[in-house]
């Protein structure tokens, strides 16, 4: 007995989501389910999508689900459990609005715990990075040059995703062949995979994860779009990091930084690796893991940075200048504890 398959259509534009879902549902000969954007939080949106998937499983029929704009893939995949292996994420992208949407710093209720907020730009980046297929409405691009930049940016953010331009008779077939939410690749199946085609065991990897793993290979290239990996074993001085973020980083001194993510260490916060998570003008640095007997999650800084016209040399030098100086490093933890730390206090992870 074959398990029903589900396609979840995401993106900021409800009309485009609905249109894409209707077209895919017609092709798949399944029902299209349209969920509205009216909900209390990202977590509430995810629960609605999961309920629609559960209803499809109970009926034995797949669904194409137009999900609310604030649906977070990471939350959703946790709720879906084993059903994620038969679920693909499709994100509709408007190249004319993508950069504006990636700069949207408005905060919404995440719903993960009381008072948790997340920027809309961060939700969109998460959707793109976890997509099996990105449907890019090329007709909305101002010109071919702008389209080239957007395709390259998307490919850097989501190397596993299949980029699809909705033209001709075969675009929906390309969406249909994209990997599942539990897939390791959007473009092709992994050689070690078994079972249902597209139901692979390793999750789709965001571009920043691939950078840190050393296997980042975007399928589209544009000379203005690049991704660099920054590493440094020396811990950061938090005041210097904040000064950089509020200064040259946000002012564009090193190019337009669209996305950066990875792991970091601060001298004032020993024993804990931080997770650096920036999308557009929104950045958060939260605790990722405490050190264990096996060693820390990260020995120092390990960041992936994607943007337009990046000054790799200048940006690397600026980040290096945020680490402890040799004399500070030699002074040891007793001095580090006295350093000024203006960053928000880390709350214990529950």
Which pLDDT tens digit goes with each residue over 54-75?
999 999 999 999 999 999 999 9
What residues does each domain of the chain span? 6-205, 225-336
Q: What is the pLDDT of residue 297?
A: 86
* Cα angle: 331, vertex 320, 340; to 5 degrees: 50
- Average pLDDT on 201-221 reads 88
Q: Is the pLDDT of residue 263 over 70?
A: yes
Q: What is the pLDDT of residue 192?
A: 26
How does residue 240 score in pLDDT terms, banded at 50, 70 and 90?
very high
- Average pLDDT on 244-269 reads 98
Specify the higher pLDDT residue, 104 or 166.
104
Q: What is the CATH number of domain 6-205?
A: 3.40.50
User: For residues 140, 144, 150 and 155, what is the CA-based torsion angle, rounded to 10 degrees?
Assistant: 120
Q: Each residue of 146-204: pLDDT tens digit? A: 999 999 999 999 999 999 987 654 555 555 555 445 444 433 322 222 222 222 223 58
Specify the higher pLDDT residue, 28 or 12.
12
Q: What is the pLDDT of residue 231?
A: 98
Q: What is the pTM of this model?
A: 0.89
Q: Phi and psi for 127 in degrees, rounded to 5?
A: -65, -45
Q: Out of 3.90.1150.10, 3.40.50.720, 3.20.20.70, 3.30.1220.10, which CATH number does the structure's domain 225-336 have?
A: 3.30.1220.10
């Amino acid at each position: 007995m074959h398990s029903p398959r589900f396609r979840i259509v995401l993106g900021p534009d409800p009309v485009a989501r609905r249109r894409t879902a209707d077209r895919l549902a017609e092709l798949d000969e399944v029902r299209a389910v349209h969920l509205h954007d009216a909900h209390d939080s990202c977590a509430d949106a995810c629960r609605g999508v999961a309920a629609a998937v559960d209803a499809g499983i109970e009926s034995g029929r797949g669904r194409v689900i137009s999900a609310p704009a604030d649906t977070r893939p990471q939350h959703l995949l946790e709720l879906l459990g084993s059903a994620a292996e038969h679920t693909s994420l499709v994100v509709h992208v408007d190249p004319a609005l993508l950069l504006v949407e990636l700069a949207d710093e408005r905060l919404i209720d995440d719903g993960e715990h009381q008072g948790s907020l997340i920027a809309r730009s961060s939700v969109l980046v998460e959707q793109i990075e976890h997509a099996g297929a990105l449907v890019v409405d090329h007709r909305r691009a101002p010109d071919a040059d702008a389209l080239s930049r957007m395709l390259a940016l998307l490919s850097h953010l989501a190397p596993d995703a299949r980029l699809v331009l909705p033209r001709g008779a075969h675009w929906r077939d390309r969406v249909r062949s994209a990997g599942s939410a539990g897939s390791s690749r959007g473009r092709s199946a992994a050689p070690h995979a078994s079972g249902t085609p597209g139901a692979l065991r390793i999750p789709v990897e965001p571009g920043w994860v691939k950078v840190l793993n050393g296997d980042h290979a975007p399928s589209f290239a544009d000379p203005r779009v690049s991704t660099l990996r920054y590493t440094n074993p020396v811990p950061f001085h938090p005041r210097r990091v904040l000064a950089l973020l509020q200064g040259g980083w946000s002012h564009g001194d090193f190019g337009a930084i669209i996305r950066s993510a990875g792991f970091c260490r601060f001298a004032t916060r020993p024993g804990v690796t931080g997770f650096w998570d920036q999308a557009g003008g929104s950045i958060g640095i939260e605790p990722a893991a405490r050190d264990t007997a096996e060693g820390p999650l990260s020995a120092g800084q390990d960041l992936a940075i994607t943007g337009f016209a990046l000054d790799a040399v200048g940006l690397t030098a600026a980040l290096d200048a945020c680490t402890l100086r040799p004399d500070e490093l030699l002074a040891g933890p007793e001095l580090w504890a006295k350093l000024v730390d203006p960053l928000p206090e880390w709350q214990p992870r529950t």
